[in-house]
Structure 1
Amino acid sequence: MTQIIARFSGPLDDFDLDSEFSIPAKGVTALFGQSGCGKTSVLRCLAGLSRQPGGFLSVKGQVWQDETSFLPTHQRPVGVVFQEASLFSHLSVKDNLVFGQKRAGARGQLLRLEDIVALLGLGDLLGRSPLTLSGGERQRVAIGRALLCGPELVLMDEPLAALDRFSKDEIIPYLETLFRKLDIPMIFVSHDTDEVERLADWMVLMEKGRVLSSGPLGDVLSDPELFIARGAKTASVVEGQVVGFDPEDLLSEMSVTGGKILVPGRLGEVGTRHRIRISANDVSLARERPSRTTILNVLPVRILAIHSLDEARVNVLISAGHGSSVADDGEPRARFIARITRRSLRAFAFEVGQDIYAQVKSVSMLNPKKKIKKVS
């Protein structure tokens, strides 16, 4: 797989930056961590806006920085989007977009203006001044301008941080569509787990200038050893595929590697894929399959790990399906976390490697066009 390989180190205000990661040069990667952990510093290094001596950056086999060379920002085929849209107020929306296309030279012809306008829903805004746009509309224009530069890599520094909840809900569906349609790797900085769960395919988790973990989104979110699994909103994200629909009860059946899950409503045609969110607090465990329960989603699972959370609770990492954590086709089984009390752990004598059952009380589907849906 073509990759982006980065290594940056050097002093920051509160700590030393010492980050190294290798990520796929496709899809969406989130640089995630608490405020002040060095995410934006890494993004600026990727863009060439900051230079760390001895740093290294290779994008799709092209070296942009090493010990002897440094490609300046204006020579890097990158599109950068900041928290503030920074549009030219004296130009119309269309002229702002065209400006980005003209500055790119030959690369600006890689994407057509009309295609970007359609993907970002900008058709009704082209003649307007940026001063008359909402925050979400301005950011959509800024993203369109960055894309029309013909980038080989798109970098976004908390593009939704300056928006209110309404504006975020307005722009996220456009971003989801954009990320699915375009074959351009994108890296965005965020400290909002909701944004990451909906948008990212890959996560680089940072703390105090260091990379704690880098991997597929579902793997990092469900790693009980990381601080991200210790919060009140800890959840796992699993990819699922629609395999059926019950017209009487209006339930869609989705297949995940190792099991099946029911979600309310008609989610799409058979074969379409969706992202499912499972909160750690919404999963209970049983040694034997419950015979009478109102909970519809009861899955055979295997315990992969047990990690202490505090004096009263533990996180239990489980994979869907009994037996190996790898399915017959070699794909890793869906993994998620159950948060239970130490009393329950002791009473049921749960241990690593044990085949048990999980009751998933509530499933949330992260859908680009519909509100989050839950089923109990």
Structure 2
Amino acid sequence: MAGSAIEATFSGRLGNFALDAAFSVPAKGVTGLFGPSGCGKTSVLRCAAGLNRLEGRFSIAGEVWQDERTFRPTHRRPIGYVFQEASLFPHLSVRQNLLFGAPGRRPPSSANGTSFEEVIELLGIGDLLGRSTSNLSGGERQRVAIGRALLSQPKLLLMDEPLSALDRQTKDGILPFLERLHDRLAMPVLYVSHDIAEVERLADHLVLMQAGKVLAAGPLAELQADPNLPLAASREAVVSLDAVVESYDAAFGLARLAVAGGHFEIPAAAGAPGTRRRIRIAAGDVSLTRRPPEGTTIINILPVRILSETPVGEHETLLVLRLGENGDGAKLLSRVTRRSWHHLQLEVGQKLYAQIKGVALTPASAS
């Protein structure tokens, strides 16, 4: 995967903090760096940018920025960097801030990269161009900062908790714009966050960190459903699945979405057929039965097979399930009591039916 991957290995000390992190992820889509505060996420991002220099290697799509012989300084790395606080130039207008990092300080053409007009449209900042940055809200400032980073024509976008300084309402308002960037731009993104809800909405891949080390790296849904990792063991455990809208029943307000191994019906207008959407299914919303139930208000009842069983706590067990008659579809999680495990005589490999009480559809991207 080296030719189409982001490969990172960094080892050393930054003050009292020891970093020993290595991962390889696809050089496309959004990769979330997730973990508790102080685990080394920002340190990895700064190493990727060349702002911190530790022993190691960093390459993107086969282009080496650092190894035992090479260290490309920050100004020679084609990156866009978005910080927690939007550091805009107060003496420049929004338009001037956006163009500050652009090659030649001119709006880039679409032939050479992301066009000025496309960035303005994606971020919804067309009506801000003539304004002073001192008159912008927190969310507006951050959208301008993201636009400036994109217009520098980077090969890699680095985002260091870009929403952490915003209140919940403002954060919810800017997330749809980030989803639009994810859907429309081919540029790879390394996205640092300690908010799992952001990661679930935006990330395709995940680097899970703890105490300066990488616990695991891989597709988001795979790591969410890994019983050996802390995400699955959490009481708030969920699995995020990418789905495709198949149809909409206007009479009952139900959208039908397809995932690997099954279909879900969701009370929402999810978009036109063919639209890709992301759904979230919590482990606590998945119960199991040996036979398809009758006379129930639960809409989504799907065949599954038990892939694994892992005790959690004193009286519960975590089940990893696979959708589909043959058990070869997407993974789900279910948290059941040990009593239910023994009472129903459940075992790994067994075919059951999952009763899914709730399916959360991530909010649609802004249009």
TM-score (norm 1): 0.93
Tell me the distance in 2 between the aligned counterparts of 1:141 and 1:245: 36
Residue equivalent to 1:347:
343
Relative distance call for 1:65 and 1:116 in structure 2 (3 A) is same
Change (3 A) 1:147 1:233: same
Post-superposition offset of 1:85: 0.5
Deviation (angstroms), 1:76: 0.2
| Residues 22-53 of structure 1 deviation map (CA, whole Å, 9 limit, x = unaligned) | 11111110001111111101000101100112
Summarize the alignment of residues 23-172 of structure 1 with structure 2, pairs less than 5 Å apart. Answer: 23-53=25-55, 55-102=56-103, 110-172=113-175
1:364 is matched with which residue? Answer: 360
**Percent identity between the aligned chains?**
52
Q: Is the 8 A contact 1:111 1:150 kept in 2?
A: yes
Other structure's SS at 2:92 match: coil
Partner Cα separation in structure 2 for residue 243 and residue 111 of structure 1: 31
State how far apart, in whole Å, the 1-side matches of 2:226 and 2:149 are.
34
Distance 1:66 1:150, change over 3 A: same
2:208 is the alignment partner of 1:205: yes
Query: In structure 2, how many angstroms separate the alpha carbons of the residues matched to 1:14 and 1:316?
Result: 40
Contact 1:5–1:59 (CA under 8 A) maintained in structure 2: yes
Does the CA-based 8 Å contact 2:108-2:116 persist in structure 1? no
Q: Deviations over 1:227-246 (max 9, x none)?
A: 11222321111111112222
1:172/1:368 contact within 8 Å kept:
no
Amino acid at match of 2:153: G
* AA partner of residue 220 (structure 2): L
Distance 2:237 2:113 in 1: 40
Looking at structure 1, the residues matched to 314 and 15 of structure 2 have their Cα atoms a distance apart, in angstroms, of: 35
RMSD: 1.7
Name which of 214, 217, 233 aligns with 2:220. 217
1:334 maps to 2:330: yes
Aligned to 1:274: 277
Equivalences for residues 262-341 of structure 1 within 5 A = 262-325=265-328, 333-341=329-337
* Residue type of the alignment partner of 1:50: N
Bigger shift: residues 240-249 or 178-187: 240-249
Q: Which amino acid aligns with 1:351?
A: E
How far off is 1:14 after superposition?
A: 5.4
Task: Give distance in 1, aligned partners of 2:15 and 2:224.
Answer: 28
Answer yes or no: is the 8 Å Cα contact 2:289–2:352 preserved in 1: yes
CA contact (8 A) 2:99 2:107 kept: no
Q: Which moved more, 1:238-247 or 1:197-206?
A: 238-247
2:191 matches 1:188: yes
Alpha-carbon distance between aligned partners in 2 of 1:47 and 1:56, rounded to the nearest angstrom: 12
Q: For the residues of structure 2 that align with 1:14 and 1:281, how far apart are their CA atoms?
A: 40
Q: Contact 2:179 / 2:365 at 8 angstroms: preserved in 1?
A: no
CA distance in 2, matches of 1:105, 1:50: 30
C-alpha distance in 1, partners of 2:291/2:15? 54
Structure 2 spans left out of the alignment, 5+ residues: none
Letter in 1 for 2:80: G
Indicate how the Cα distance of structure 1 residues 362 and 13 shifts in structure 2: closer, same or farther if over 3 A, else same. farther
Q: Give the AA of the match of 1:342.
A: R
Aligned-pair distance for 1:359? 0.3
Query: How many residues of Structure 1 are paired with residues of Structure 2 in the alignment?
Result: 362
The secondary structure found in structure 2 opposite 1:367 is coil
Letter in 2 for 1:361: K
Match status 1:230 vs 2:233: yes
Q: Equivalents in 2 of 1:14, 1:359: separation in Å? A: 49
